[in-house]
Amino acid sequence: MGNQGQLPTSFDQAAPFLSAEAQAQTNVTGDEFEIVYRGSLNDLTNRDDADIILLRERQVRHRYDGKWGRVYGLADGASLQRFLDTENALEQWEQEHMRATAKP
């Protein structure tokens, strides 16, 4: 991995690492997501780190059934849609799945 294992701070920094196929995708743009984990992936080595949020959809969505949610990318490589009854419940879930990282 480039950048000595550090995640980029923006999708512009990540673009050179994407395959040509991924760069050609037009159905999702980097503007729709934000990278929320700062630091090295090497620091995420425990099983407990698997569900740490690396990136998330910028805009919280209010679904037809009244639930609030976003799409997330997790440290184990999984993507996840999470919808909860209130926006506050979603924020609390996010706080439980984000890691405070040292400033680079």
Q: What is the pTM of this model?
A: 0.78
Instruction: Tell me, yes or no, whether 25 lies in a domain.
Output: yes
Count of C-beta atoms within a 10 Å radius of residue 49: 14
d(CA 40, CA 72): 18
Full domain range(s) for residue 70: 3-96
Taking 90 as the threshold, does the pLDDT of residue 91 lie above it?
yes
Instruction: Tell me, yes or no, whether 61 lies in a domain.
Output: yes
Instruction: Tell me, yes or no, whether 102 lies in a domain.
Output: no
Tokens encoding 94: 């996010």
pLDDT for the residue 49: 84
**Tally of domains within the chain:** 1
pLDDT for the residue 101: 56
Question: 8-53 pLDDT, tens per residue?
Answer: 777 677 766 667 776 666 666 667 889 899 888 888 878 778 889 9
Instruction: Tell me, yes or no, whether 104 lies in a domain.
Output: no
